[in-house]
Amino acid sequence: MNSKSMLLEGLSDSVGFVAGALIGYGIGSLLGLNIFDAGYSNSSIFGIVLVGLGGGFGLQAARRWRNRAKPENPDNS
């Protein structure tokens, strides 16, 4: 694996994770869940869970996109 492909992998993973986490935060905000609430109330915990799930889904989406964009190599069968 060369350094260019490693850079692309790291950047796509980070962009996917951050975008997914922001989408999770946005959904939580629409539902009235505040992750920055004082203490650990139920709404705060559910908001944090949504951010984590969003980040995980975004990361997986970025990896699927990267694997789909990768050309097939028939020599390595």
Question: pLDDT tens digit string along 21-68?
Answer: 999 999 999 999 999 988 889 999 999 999 999 999 999 999 999 888
74 against 11, higher pLDDT: 11
- Cα 55 from Cα 71, distance rounded (Å): 26
56 against 77, higher pLDDT: 56
Residue 16's Cβ-count burial label (10 Å; 0-12, 13-18, 19+) is: buried
Please state the pTM of the whole predicted model: 0.82
